[in-house]
Amino acid sequence: MKNLFAMTAALLMGFGANANNVELVVEAVDNGGLVPGNTFRVYAVLPSAQHSLHAIFAAEEHVLNVATTGSFFQHQYGSSSSLDVNEAIVGLEPGLAFDSWVTVGADNSENNNLWTIGIDYTNFLAGNELTVTDGAWFVVPTDVQAAAAVGNKVLLMQLTTDGTATGVINLQGRDGEGGTWRAHDLTFSTTDAQVFGCTNTNAANYSTEATYNDGSCEGAATEGLVGIAADTKFNVFPNPVFESSFSMQFDAELVLGDQNIIVEATDLTGKIVLTSEYSQQNVVGGNRLVIKHSLAAGTYTLTAIHKDFSQATNFVVTR
């Protein structure tokens, strides 16, 4: 069947406008010599925290290809995607953490809702290149793993290879207004790999080894961690909310310290209908909280409170 991705995109997301402000960045990952070769992660960097990314695809003249001058490492307990990276197994087989796989946003199997259509991974699983002419790996547009992490990054794949890996890929997502965007023929090479970390010399966690600022800088060097800056903003993803959970996505790193952040939802009468506390351990991707709820359909105000920080935004629940 031809144009599998086009049909899937039309059903899930609609047709999109071209985007020329989406970039790819490659992270060099220290694998400690546990597996042969070097490990890299490839991310899309989106224009803003309000953008999201749902699909990596090939369609029509836009072919997808991920190749290496050597071979890709494939762990015996892994597979083609991060769906098969089970943290319990990683504890027994540490090399699984450096398997080669594709994804949208998630680096293990927990709460991972990845789908694939029209892709044969046989060649890739044998350590060779992945070529797709009509297909995609994707999540539905409202899935929280489509939201960008700190630095507006979305993880696309992890590659471990004894050679140089290169790729050309196509992406699709949504902007802050809910419109669909596409970016075609984006390229990457592991020769351009960066060491992620904080490059701000005034930050408490400044890294002399970092070559790429990944948005993880915390506080001032003379003051230590300072919590959440007063001008930090957040949005609700997806909005409207139609499932039993949603994501609060902040535009900066969440550094909570030893004090929990309080999240409250109030209805139109001002009544508090949801209140929860979250610690640093609950922070996902450096800048997100996943909120579980049982709210009825309606319009609400969501407020986040932490030390001297307090911000609110409106959101809608549909049932």
175-190 residue pLDDT tens: 878 889 999 999 999 9
Q: What is the pLDDT of residue 11?
A: 45
Q: What is the pLDDT of residue 203?
A: 80
Asked if the model's pLDDT at residue 140 lies above 70, the reply is: yes
- Same CATH topology for 4-194 and 234-317? yes
248-260 residue pLDDT tens: 989 888 888 888 9
Domain ranges of the chain: 4-194, 234-317
80-101 residue pLDDT tens: 999 999 999 999 999 999 999 9
Q: Which residues contact 43 (CB under 8 A, 6 or more apart)?
A: 24, 25, 26, 27, 153, 154, 155, 156
271-294 residue pLDDT tens: 999 999 999 889 887 888 999 999
Q: What is the pLDDT of residue 157?
A: 98
Q: Which fold has domain 234-317?
A: Immunoglobulin-like (2.60.40)
Which residue has 């960008």 as its token pair? 148
Report the predicted TM-score, pTM, of the whole model to 2 decimal places.
Answer: 0.80
Residue 171 CA to residue 183 CA, distance in Å, equals 5
Q: What is the pLDDT of residue 14?
A: 55
CATH code of domain 4-194? 2.60.40
Q: How many helices (H) and strands (E) does the chain have?
A: 3, 21
> Do residues 297 and 319 touch, judged by C-beta distance below 8 A?
yes
